[in-house]
Amino acid sequence: MRIPKTVKDIQSLIGRVAALTRFISKAADRCAPFFKALKGNKQNITWTAECDKAFSELKEPGPLIFNPRAWRHPYNLPLRIGYSVNHDFTAKDVFMIAYLQHTRHLLATFDAHLISQVPRSENSHADALARLASALEQGIGRHIHIEFLDQPSTQAPLICTIDHSPTWMDPILKFLQNQTLPADSAEARRIRYRSTRYLILNGSLYKWGFSLTYFRCLTPEEGNYVIQEIHKGICGNHSGTRSLAHKAIRQGYFWPSLHTDAQAFTQKCDKCQRFTNIPQLLAEPLTAMVSPWLFA
């Protein structure tokens, strides 16, 4: 990078530093001499020794991490992360903290590591990578392989837990699939009688219906989600208990506690309790009180 000679060059330099503020500590203090150079007549600038010193400090490359087993594969780190790893500075930015934790996690996999500052003359490969973005904008062909990541390397993978707790459908599924009944004779007789109303389609349990052919059987957790979507989803109208239960049935869903869950959900809905019609009926009938005549 050449020494700025015009006002436009200094403004371009300040813009680049502003884009790298996350990786440069005290970027505003470092650019203070440049702001002083822009004061006064904008036709000519005064490049002082203080500006030259600040410009030289900005060009200093960041420290590198080397694997002792393979010294030919250095890992280039931003200057601020390298200083944070050495505990010279404290990371306060959220993204910087995430990158610092990821760096320390990678360092734990090394038998040994050394963080040192590499002179610019020996850091040509990192400079080529830094200039690659501007080269692409100018339409210059590139010969360096670039991997585009879908998400930051510091983002942890999303892990979802699967609930295998027993449900009301398990005894019926066991009987329909394997003819397995509980040890209790009364419970076995009840499961055998109830199973005649159910069948398995594509691995899912369905119930025979009167108005509809099949009802998709749901667990209480899945049923709660269906009630929530019908009641206050995109097309929800905060319907009452019976209307909410009948809408779930018309959509082809069933679980034993459907009406009870619908009633409990509407009673806990904040908007339904705030804006519902207040009944004007008295809590109990009036009781007439007959007063006797005084002095009778």
Share of the chain above pLDDT 90, in %: 10
CA distance 265 to 24: 53
pLDDT tens digit sequence for 181-198: 888 889 899 999 988 889
The pTM score is: 0.43
Phi, psi of 127 (to 5 degrees): -65, -35
Average pLDDT over residues 165-188: 88
Domain boundaries, the chain: 7-58, 63-122, 170-273
| pLDDT at 66 > cutoff 70 | no
How large is the average pLDDT for residues 99-103?
79
CB 190 within 8 A of CB 197: no
Q: Indicate the fold that domain 170-273 takes in CATH.
A: Endonuclease III; domain 1 (1.10.340)
pLDDT at 76: 53
User: Which neighbouring-strand residues pair with 214?
Assistant: 208
Top pLDDT among 86 and 116 is at 116
CA distance 63 to 77: 6
